[in-house]
Amino acid sequence: MRFDVFSLFPEIFQPYLDISILKRAIQNGLIEVRAHNIRNWAADKHHTTDDTPYGGGGGMVMKPEPVFAAVEGVLGAPPACPVILLCPQGERFDQKMARELAGFAHLALICGRYEAFDERIREHLATRVISIGDFVLTGGELPALMLMDAVGRLVPGVLGDADATQDDSFSIEGLLEYPQWTKPPVFREWRVPEILLNGHLARQQQWKRQQSLIRTLENRPDLLREAPLTDEDHEFIAQYINQRLEESQFKEE
């Protein structure tokens, strides 16, 4: 899979790409990342990439000319791959979207700086606008890295094990992942749950499912509205809620 990233600070990306899983994926030819400096396509001698906004207001706005020139100079006009604009006003990035984007062989990412993009970049160059959350950063480079990491690890072969991502949070039918433990079985008197040590696979799988339900209920109850829950799931959730209510009432007494 190939990522072409367009930024005013392309040097930001290499340190992260030079470590761990993404580094191995790049070395093995599973992922390719090309970072391009938008300033190289600015036409004036000062390599200007921003200007004041029409209609007044604070901050500076990224000019359309160098961004269009950079993207079309590398990818052609129009680009043959999806062009993603990273912006807080876009659709919220999630695991489902990461899996969707992992189905493409080539993605282009545009990283903003300053106050905003000229709207013509959004309307006539970007094919999709994506946000990583309801907050504002100083630039789109960190969101681009997050997107590449989330999408890249889903490319076949990157994690080595084809099943390695199936139990990720948001992948277990929309639920959060169950808690995990490893050796030693006892650390500072804190024990690994006995059910994970007894070897009964069917009971372990049921327990993991229930723990996913509990963790989702306590931390992201909104996800349960969309999750395909079984009758057994609904029964367990009802029992768990009733148990918590009883415990709360007992403490108050």
Of the candidates 168, 173, 177, 220, the residue annotated as catalytic is 168
Kindly give the pairing relationship between strand 116-117 and strand 128-131. Answer: unpaired
| CA-to-CA separations, 72 to 69, 80, 112, 168, 248, in angstroms, rounded | 5, 10, 17, 36, 61
Catalytic residue flag (residue 32): no
Query: 249 falls in which pLDDT band (50, 70, 90)?
Result: confident
| Residue-averaged pLDDT of the chain | 92
Q: Which residue of the set 79, 88, 177, 220 is catalytic?
A: 88
**Catalytic residue list contains 194:** no
Domain extent listing, the chain: 2-152, 186-252
What is the DSSP code (8-state) at residue 159?
Answer: S
Q: pLDDT (tens digit, 9 = 90+) per residue, 145-160? A: 999 999 999 999 999 7
Q: Note whether 90 and 116 are within 8 A (CB).
A: no
**Which of the residues 72, 115, 173, 177 is marked catalytic?**
115
Architecture in CATH of 186-252: Orthogonal Bundle (1.10)
| pTM for the predicted model, two decimal places | 0.82
Which residue among 10, 113, 141, 153 is the active-site one? 153
Q: Which residues pair with 111 in a beta bridge?
A: 86
pLDDT tens digit sequence for 102-128: 999 999 999 998 888 999 999 999 999
Residue-level pLDDT at 57: 87
Radius of gyration of the chain (CA): 23
Q: Which residue has the higher pLDDT, 173 or 73?
A: 73
Confidence at residue 160, expressed as pLDDT on a 0 to 100 scale? 78
228 in catalytic set: no
**Which architecture, in CATH terms, is 2-152?**
3-Layer(aba) Sandwich (3.40)
